[in-house]
Amino acid sequence: MIPMSVDEFISDFSRFYILTLLYEGPCHGYSIITRFKRRIGKEVSPSLVYPFLQQLEQKGLVEHTVKPVGEKERKVFELTIEGRELCTRLFKRFANIISIAIEPSLEVCAHCACKVYEGGHIEVMGGKETTFCCKHCAESYKREKMSHV
């Protein structure tokens, strides 16, 4: 079995991430390339970015205007209403996938049963660590336990 590198997986997400950048607001091709590198830590090829922007434009998902940026004029791309709707659907689907991926690492509040993604509040009760989403749930949980004793 040949192990895959993280870089190989990231390259598969390049188009998705370009859509994410466009969803954040209008930008020109060079801006997409530099922001991609800064945030992901990997180069994205202009030979991927510019044809992808053209495809999006041909499908009516993106439109461009020519604007001065510094001393140059650049095509600034912006998602159309249809493009924003597509991104919203993609992001919801991606969020569901991510939710499945992180589910095993989540803690559940012992009081309200909400999922604790980060942090939370831990109390030692009966020699055992019990996880809560916040100190208020911990206090409520203790009050309820005391009232049943």
Structure confidence by residue, pLDDT tens digits, 41-88: 888 999 999 999 999 999 999 999 998 878 889 999 999 999 999 999
Model confidence, pTM: 0.66
Q: Which residue has the tokens 């990997």?
A: 42
- Do 97 and 117 sit in the same domain of this protein? no
The answer as to whether 123 is a domain residue is yes
Q: How far apart are CA 92 and CA 85, in angstroms?
A: 11
Q: What is the CATH number of the domain that holds 85?
A: 1.10.10.10
Q: Which residue has the tokens 């095993």?
A: 104
| pLDDT per position as a tens digit, 66-79 | 988 788 899 999 99
Parent domain of 24: 6-103
- Do 74 and 111 sit in the same domain of this protein? no
The answer as to whether 1 is a domain residue is no
Residue type, 95: A
| Total domains in the fold of the chain | 2
Q: How far apart are CA 12 and CA 4, in angstroms?
A: 12
Helix, strand, coil abundance in the chain, percent, nearest 5:
55, 20, 25
